[in-house]
Structure 1
Amino acid sequence: MSAASGDVEAINRILKHYEGYIAVLSTRKLYDEYGNLHYCVDETLRRRLETKLITKILKFKIA
Protein backbone atom coordinates (compact mmCIF):
# COMPACT_ATOMS: atom_id res chain seq x y z
CA MET A 1 0.00 0.00 0.00
CA SER A 2 2.82 2.46 0.76
CA ALA A 3 4.32 2.13 -2.74
CA ALA A 4 0.95 3.00 -4.30
CA SER A 5 0.83 6.13 -2.16
CA GLY A 6 4.22 7.27 -3.48
CA ASP A 7 6.68 6.05 -0.82
CA VAL A 8 10.01 6.24 -2.65
CA GLU A 9 11.70 3.52 -0.59
CA ALA A 10 8.81 1.11 -1.19
CA ILE A 11 8.91 1.81 -4.92
CA ASN A 12 12.69 1.23 -4.93
CA ARG A 13 12.17 -2.14 -3.19
CA ILE A 14 9.73 -3.16 -5.93
CA LEU A 15 12.13 -2.00 -8.64
CA LYS A 16 14.93 -3.98 -6.98
CA HIS A 17 12.70 -7.06 -6.91
CA TYR A 18 12.02 -6.81 -10.66
CA GLU A 19 15.53 -5.65 -11.61
CA GLY A 20 16.63 -9.02 -13.04
CA TYR A 21 13.40 -9.56 -14.96
CA ILE A 22 13.59 -6.08 -16.47
CA ALA A 23 17.24 -6.69 -17.44
CA VAL A 24 16.26 -9.92 -19.23
CA LEU A 25 13.43 -8.19 -21.07
CA SER A 26 15.71 -5.38 -22.21
CA THR A 27 18.64 -7.59 -23.33
CA ARG A 28 19.47 -7.32 -27.02
CA LYS A 29 21.65 -9.40 -29.36
CA LEU A 30 24.37 -7.42 -31.08
CA TYR A 31 26.89 -8.57 -33.67
CA ASP A 32 30.29 -6.95 -34.02
CA GLU A 33 32.09 -6.32 -37.31
CA TYR A 34 33.45 -9.90 -37.25
CA GLY A 35 30.03 -11.48 -36.80
CA ASN A 36 30.55 -12.35 -33.14
CA LEU A 37 27.40 -12.35 -31.04
CA HIS A 38 27.25 -10.18 -27.93
CA TYR A 39 24.40 -9.56 -25.52
CA CYS A 40 23.88 -6.22 -23.85
CA VAL A 41 21.18 -4.43 -21.92
CA ASP A 42 19.44 -1.69 -23.88
CA GLU A 43 19.51 1.05 -21.24
CA THR A 44 16.80 3.10 -22.97
CA LEU A 45 14.42 0.16 -22.99
CA ARG A 46 15.33 -0.72 -19.38
CA ARG A 47 14.47 2.81 -18.23
CA ARG A 48 11.20 2.75 -20.20
CA LEU A 49 10.20 -0.52 -18.51
CA GLU A 50 11.09 0.86 -15.07
CA THR A 51 9.10 4.02 -15.76
CA LYS A 52 6.11 1.97 -16.90
CA LEU A 53 6.30 -0.13 -13.71
CA ILE A 54 6.45 2.98 -11.52
CA THR A 55 3.46 4.45 -13.36
CA LYS A 56 1.44 1.27 -12.79
CA ILE A 57 2.42 1.18 -9.12
CA LEU A 58 1.24 4.75 -8.59
CA LYS A 59 -2.06 4.07 -10.38
CA PHE A 60 -2.69 0.89 -8.37
CA LYS A 61 -5.93 0.98 -6.38
CA ILE A 62 -7.03 -1.60 -3.83
CA ALA A 63 -10.63 -2.56 -4.46
Structure 2
Amino acid sequence: MKKRNNSKLLPYHIIVVAASGDVEAINRVLKHYEGYIAVLSTRKLYDEYGNSHYCVDETLRRRLETKLITKVLEFKVA
Protein backbone atom coordinates (compact mmCIF):
# COMPACT_ATOMS: atom_id res chain seq x y z
CA MET A 1 0.00 0.00 0.00
CA LYS A 2 1.37 3.40 -1.00
CA LYS A 3 1.78 5.95 1.78
CA ARG A 4 0.42 9.39 0.96
CA ASN A 5 2.66 12.44 1.32
CA ASN A 6 0.57 14.89 3.35
CA SER A 7 3.09 17.72 3.12
CA LYS A 8 1.62 18.81 -0.23
CA LEU A 9 -1.97 18.92 1.01
CA LEU A 10 -3.69 22.14 1.96
CA PRO A 11 -4.48 22.07 5.69
CA TYR A 12 -8.16 21.49 6.45
CA HIS A 13 -8.37 24.45 8.84
CA ILE A 14 -7.30 26.80 6.01
CA ILE A 15 -10.13 25.47 3.84
CA VAL A 16 -12.63 25.95 6.68
CA VAL A 17 -11.52 29.55 7.26
CA ALA A 18 -11.54 30.23 3.50
CA ALA A 19 -15.07 28.81 3.25
CA SER A 20 -16.16 31.35 5.83
CA GLY A 21 -14.93 34.14 3.54
CA ASP A 22 -11.55 35.06 5.02
CA VAL A 23 -9.62 36.85 2.27
CA GLU A 24 -6.16 35.78 3.46
CA ALA A 25 -7.20 32.13 3.59
CA ILE A 26 -8.72 32.35 0.10
CA ASN A 27 -5.48 33.86 -1.17
CA ARG A 28 -3.57 30.99 0.45
CA VAL A 29 -5.80 28.47 -1.34
CA LEU A 30 -5.19 30.30 -4.64
CA LYS A 31 -1.44 30.33 -3.96
CA HIS A 32 -1.51 26.60 -3.24
CA TYR A 33 -3.16 25.84 -6.59
CA GLU A 34 -1.51 28.52 -8.75
CA GLY A 35 0.91 26.10 -10.42
CA TYR A 36 -1.84 23.65 -11.28
CA ILE A 37 -4.03 26.46 -12.62
CA ALA A 38 -1.13 27.75 -14.73
CA VAL A 39 -0.62 24.30 -16.25
CA LEU A 40 -4.32 23.97 -17.02
CA SER A 41 -4.44 27.39 -18.66
CA THR A 42 -1.29 26.99 -20.79
CA ARG A 43 -1.97 27.08 -24.51
CA LYS A 44 0.19 26.35 -27.53
CA LEU A 45 0.22 29.24 -29.99
CA TYR A 46 1.89 29.64 -33.37
CA ASP A 47 3.49 32.77 -34.77
CA GLU A 48 3.36 33.88 -38.41
CA TYR A 49 6.36 31.66 -39.23
CA GLY A 50 4.79 28.51 -37.80
CA ASN A 51 6.94 28.44 -34.66
CA SER A 52 5.11 27.19 -31.60
CA HIS A 53 5.09 29.04 -28.30
CA TYR A 54 3.49 28.17 -24.99
CA CYS A 55 1.83 30.87 -22.96
CA VAL A 56 -0.67 31.18 -20.14
CA ASP A 57 -4.14 32.21 -21.29
CA GLU A 58 -4.85 34.91 -18.69
CA THR A 59 -8.59 34.87 -19.35
CA LEU A 60 -8.78 31.13 -18.74
CA ARG A 61 -6.54 31.44 -15.67
CA ARG A 62 -8.85 34.05 -14.14
CA ARG A 63 -11.90 31.92 -14.92
CA LEU A 64 -10.33 28.92 -13.17
CA GLU A 65 -9.39 31.04 -10.15
CA THR A 66 -12.93 32.43 -9.97
CA LYS A 67 -14.38 28.92 -10.16
CA LEU A 68 -12.05 27.76 -7.37
CA ILE A 69 -13.06 30.70 -5.15
CA THR A 70 -16.74 29.98 -5.82
CA LYS A 71 -16.36 26.32 -4.88
CA VAL A 72 -14.39 27.14 -1.75
CA LEU A 73 -17.09 29.56 -0.60
CA GLU A 74 -19.77 26.90 -1.29
CA PHE A 75 -17.84 24.30 0.74
CA LYS A 76 -19.97 22.87 3.55
CA VAL A 77 -18.04 22.27 6.76
CA ALA A 78 -19.07 19.00 8.42
* TM tier, smaller: over 0.9
> When the two structures are superposed, what TM-score results if normalisation uses the length of structure 1?
0.95
SS of 1:61 mapped into structure 2? coil
RMSD over aligned Cα, in angstroms? 0.5
Runs of 4+, deviation exceeding 6 Å: none
Q: What is the alpha-carbon distance in structure 2 between the residues aligned to residue 58 and residue 14 of structure 1?
A: 11
**1:28-58 per-position Cα deviation (integer Å, ceiling 9, x unaligned):** 0000001100000000000000000000000
Instruction: Note the C-alpha offset of 1:62.
Output: 1.7
Identity of aligned residues (%): 92
> When the two structures are superposed, what TM-score results if normalisation uses the length of structure 2?
0.77
Higher relative contact order (CA 8 A, sep 6+): 1
**Number of equivalenced pairs:** 61
SS of 2:19 mapped into structure 1? coil
SS of 1:35 mapped into structure 2? coil
Unmatched 5+ stretches in structure 1: none
